[in-house]
Amino acid sequence: MPYGLPSTSSLRFAWRGAKWFLFLFLVLAPGCDRPRITTEFGTREMTLPHGQVIKAETMITTADLRRGLMFRTSLAPDHGMLFVHPGPGNYPYWMYQILIPLDIIWMDSDHRIIQIVQNAQPCKTDPNQCTQYYCTKPTNFVLELGGGMAKTYGLALGQTIDW
C-alpha cells in the first residue's frame, strides 16, 4: 500500500464513526433550535352563553400560567386562552409583554362569569409600572379573548361558559 493512504480497516472504522456522528447529529440537532415563543398547547372548545363556540388554549402549569399570551401578535376572533388555577384565589393579571389588547374574564368554580375587564391595553413601559388587574372575588378560571370580543359575544356578569 502506498505511503499516506489509509488501510481498508481504517476506512471502515472512519465510515462507522461518520455514521454514528450523522445519527447523533440528526437526533440531537432539533433540540438545539432557538426557544420558541409559541408552542402547541392543549385546546378545548368552549360554548359561550349565546351559543358561540371558541377554541381556547388551556394553561395549567405554572410556566404556562406565567407565559400566557406574551409575545403573540394576533389572536383569532374565535380563539382565546383559558387559565386553570389550582384553586380559588385572587390571581392578578397584567399586560406586560402582551402585544395586543385583551378582554379578561374571571370565572368561579361553576364557570360563572364574576368579572370582566374589557380592552386591557398592552403595557409598553417598565414592568413595575404595568397595571395589575384583579378579580374582586376568588376565582378558579380566567379566559382571555381579543380586545372587544367580550362585547361582541355579549358576555355579561352571571352568565356561564360551558366546557
Enumerate the domain spans of the chain: 1-33, 43-152
Q: In this structure, which topology does domain 43-152 adopt according to CATH?
A: Jelly Rolls (2.60.120)
Run means of pLDDT, 10 residues per run, the chain, 163 residues: 59 60 49 40 91 94 78 90 94 90 97 98 90 94 98 98 97
Query: For the whole prediction, is pTM greater than 0.75?
Result: no
Cell 386562552, residue located? 81
Closest CA to 142 of 98, 96, 90, 95: 90
Q: Which pLDDT belongs to residue 140?
A: 95
